[in-house]
Homo-oligomer: A and B are copies of this chain.
């Protein structure tokens, strides 16, 4: 992992990746840094600097090779290391994520959901089975899963997290807006959708994508 890939660089690289995926789908072979910069309203020099961090062999004067550049980004950002994940909570958000097949191309492979609702347990969303959350500790160990996406209602968040602790989950992507009480061995990413968006709508002078 390249130390120069700060969070801002990673954020931009994933946006470049979106553009490259579109170019690849449309069978476009080359793309210039100017084109990427214009689409994202960034400086051309910024785009070239970011791409340079990937040690990509593309030449700026003829443009970058779309497939090769896309591959470099995937390698740098770890999209190639597929991580199996559980979704905890088969409600609106959990279902939306389970149906969102695009996560897979970023290395996240949803293999099952968990819920407490007896009407949901045993059914499936997008061919991913919904299990009783009580079975999580056993299944996470058996299936060797250590990443969980937590989408339960806020009031059930800690209770669900307690099952994740028992199941030796190591990474929690927390969408609940509840700050969990966890041992230091578990890393949690508190997803903060609204905070990100507010930074952008707040009347500030600098470009938030920059």
Contact = CB atoms under 8 A, between A and B. Distances in A.
**Which range contains the number of A residues in contact with the other chain?**
35 or more
Contacts of A178: 18, 22
Interface stretch (A54-62, A97-105, A112-120, A136-144): A97-105
Interface in A1-15: 1, 5, 7, 10-11, 13-15
A117 B16 CA distance: 31
A93 interface: yes
Contacts of A21: 177
Contact of A11 (B77, B100, B103, B195): B195
Kindly name the residue among A7, A19, A203 whose own CB sees the greatest number of chain B CB atoms within 10 A. Answer: A7
Contact of A22 (B18, B147, B179, B204): B179
